[in-house]
Each structure stands twice: as C-alpha cells, then as structure tokens.
Amino acid sequence: MDKLKQMESFVAVATRGSLTAAARAEGVAPAIMGRRLDALEERLGVKLLLRTTRRLSLTHEGSAFLEDCQRLLADIANAEAGVSAGGVKASGHLRVTAPAGFGRRHVAPLVPRFRELHTDVTISLNLSDRVVDMAREGYDCAVRVGDLPDSSLVSVRLADNRRLCVATPEYLKRHGTPQTPQDLARFDCLVLSSEASQTRGWAFRVPRKAQGLHQEELLDRPEGETVLNADLTGTGLAGADLAGAGLSDTPLVNGAQAEGELIYYRPQGPLDCSDGQVLHDWCLAGYGIAWRSTWEVEEDVSAGRLVPVLEDYAAPPNGIYVVFPQRKHLPLRLRLWLDFLKHHYGQPAFWQSRR
C-alpha cells in the first residue's frame, strides 16, 4: 500500500475528527480509510489513534507523527506547485456545496466545463440552502451568497449580489406602486421563510439626500445609538412609524457610518416559502411583491415581465463568495476550481449568458 496515501489518510482523519468525514472528503468508503490506518500503525509498530464508536483521539506518538506528516505533505505540495503548469496535472475528488437556486443557475453549468479541462478530477456538487459544516461534512469549498458570518473560513469575493423589490406590471396596476418601504405594509409581500434566510428582513437604504445626518454627527454618536432616530422628514419613514410598519433599525457599531444608512423591513405577507424559486414563480404569477437578487430576476425585468419598485431605496450589494477551510497549501484541483470561478464570475457576459 502506498506509504504517502497512508500518511494522507492519517492526517485527514486526525484533522477532520472521524473516519467518515475523511472518507467522505476523498470519496471513498470509511472501511478503506480504516484499512489504511491499520496498515500504517502495523508498519510503524505503534498506536497513533484511539478509536471508539463515538470519537477518535490521538495518542502521544500520534500527535508527534501528525506534525511530521503535515510538514512532509506540505513540502511535497510545495514541490508540486513549483513545477510548471504543463508538468502538473490536477487529480482527485472535489466536493463543492452551494445554495440550491444559485447553484442550479450559476454553479452546476460550470462543473462539467471544469472537468472537460481537468479530466482526472471528479466532482460532487451539493445544492442546499442549509449552511453546511464544511470540515465535519468533508467539503472542499462552498459558494455562498450574502453577508458571511464570522468564521475561521477563508473567503474570496467573486461578484456583487444586488437585490431588488419586484412585481408584475399587472399586480402594480391593480394595487398601485409603493413609494417608500413603509408602504409595503399595504401590499402582498412574498416572504422567504425564516429558516432559509433573510432573518433580518428586507434591506433598504434611506436616500442620502433625506438622511438629515452629517458625517460629524455620526462620529459623535455613542456606540449602539441608531441613525434612524435622526430627522427623516421627507423620506416617508418617520421614526414613530417604524415599529408599526415592521421596520427595524441597525445600531451604529463603533461609529460605522455605512451601517447607519441601512434599515430592515420584516414583511408579514400572506404567502411564504423556504424555496426562492417558488417565490420567483409566485411573483411572476402576480401574487405580490418579492425581494430577490438580480441574478434571479434580471431576465424577467429586461423582458418586462417584472418591474422594479423602490429603486431609490435599494440597499448596497452584498457579495457572492467562495469559502474554504484555512490551510497553508490548497490542493491543485481546488486552486484551479477557485480560479475558474473567479474568471467566469468576473465577466459580465457570464451573467448575461445565464438568461
């Protein structure tokens, strides 16, 4: 049995915490991973891991050997990375996860195209709106849309994610057009259920001309005081009306001016769903107003099937990211996949071709 493969398997099991997670990451059965560890321990004549049905733990010898293995494998990776691109060929299994709706449109079409370039790489794509535990579940990277929580994961921003309130022309003809976020209380809002996302609500930014706040005033405000206590005359967003309209404000954190411009509306619509595509379909059918990303509705807006509303209050874009665990040396297959995503997502023509 390959000595290097035994060492790689040992490092994978020790760092991921279980045979199952390490096996899943490589795309093999846990029994294969177990046989590699048994062969390694037999060859060395020492116990490296204490295995029970519930957990794995390193022995003293295992801890020391783990450091040596990681250093050796890093040296090998560096040597391979130093070879010219023509002399190194990506191989192995790549596990990618992405949100269901975005993944269907903008990740899945790229997977076979990537493999056409790198035929020795196999790929598993998981599409789910659940935020997966990448280390525990054995994923190499995740594509994520929206604001990222604090974590130890490395993130690379691939593109902007703009969001719009949209409705059909027929719906707006029947019900009128909202002029401020406060007006949404009188309309049928199509809501993404809280277990999916948008837990803070729909994001809007009070137009700068109506803020009534100067830069120096923001700097003088104590931490935690909200910008929406300022004069909003002319915005349709008087402070006393915010709670009743479902609007919440965002506290300033350490005087951060940009955050003070945002407000959030938590709609109480007649229909909600955990699947964004269903909301899109309901919106196209004329059942109400939805808050969707431009990558999902831009084609319908261009064709006139949907009309943007409240554009003056549109929040600044958040991001489309790829995230991956912190590590000193990325496998070549993962580095090439990250570069592939950055290349395609960085081209305006890519988003237009998805229509």
Tens of pLDDT, residue by residue over 38-97, are 999 999 999 999 877 677 888 989 988 988 888 788 777 766 665 544 556 889 999 999
DSSP bridge partners of 141? 96
Distance between CA atoms of 265 and 253, rounded to whole angstroms?
20
| Same fold for the pair 89-160+319-353 and 163-316 | yes
Distance between CA atoms of 324 and 210, rounded to whole angstroms?
41
DSSP 104: I
**101 has pLDDT over 70:** yes
47 close to 27: Cβ distance less than 8 angstroms: no
Find the mean pLDDT for residues 14-34: 87
Q: What is the DSSP string of 65-90?
A: HHHHHHHHHHHHHHHHHHS-GGG---
Residue type at 332?
L
Closest CA to 133 of 16, 27, 31: 16
pTM of the model: 0.59
89-160+319-353: CATH topology is: D-Maltodextrin-Binding Protein; domain 2 (3.40.190)
Instruction: Please give the pLDDT value at position 239.
Output: 37
Half-sphere exposure of 185 (CA within 13 A, CB side): 13
Confidence tier at 229 by pLDDT (50, 70, 90) = very low
Distance between CA atoms of 339 and 331, rounded to whole angstroms?
13
Between residues 260 and 165, the one the model is more confident about: 165
**252 has pLDDT over 60:** no
283 close to 168: Cβ distance less than 8 angstroms: yes
355 close to 294: Cβ distance less than 8 angstroms: no
**284 has pLDDT over 70:** yes
**223 has pLDDT over 60:** no
Find the mean pLDDT for residues 100-120: 94
Distance between CA atoms of 36 and 280, rounded to whole angstroms?
49
Q: What is the DSSP string of 257-319?
A: TGGGGEEEE----SEEES-HHHHHHHHHTTS-EEEEEHHHHHHHHHHTSSEEE-GGGBPPPEE
Instruction: Please give the pLDDT value at position 222.
Output: 33
Closest CA to 146 of 6, 321, 9: 321
User: Any idea which architecture 3-84 has in CATH?
Assistant: Orthogonal Bundle (1.10)
Instruction: Please give the pLDDT value at position 167.
Output: 97
97, containing H or E segment: strand 92-98
Instruction: Please give the pLDDT value at position 354.
Output: 54
Confidence tier at 213 by pLDDT (50, 70, 90) = very low
User: What are the residues whose beta carbons fall under 8 Å from the beta carbon of 303, sequence distance 6 or more?
Assistant: none
Closest CA to 61 of 78, 76, 44, 74: 44
Q: Where are the alpha helices (DSSP H) in the chain?
A: 3-16, 19-26, 30-44, 60-82, 100-102, 110-117, 134-137, 169-175, 215-220, 276-284, 294-303, 332-345, 348-353
**329 has pLDDT over 60:** yes
User: What ranges do the domains of the chain cover?
Assistant: 3-84, 89-160+319-353, 163-316
Pick the CATH number of 163-316 from 3.40.50.2300, 3.20.10.10, 3.20.19.10, 3.40.190.10: 3.40.190.10
Distance between CA atoms of 298 and 342, rounded to whole angstroms?
21
Find the mean pLDDT for residues 174-184: 93
**29 has pLDDT over 60:** yes
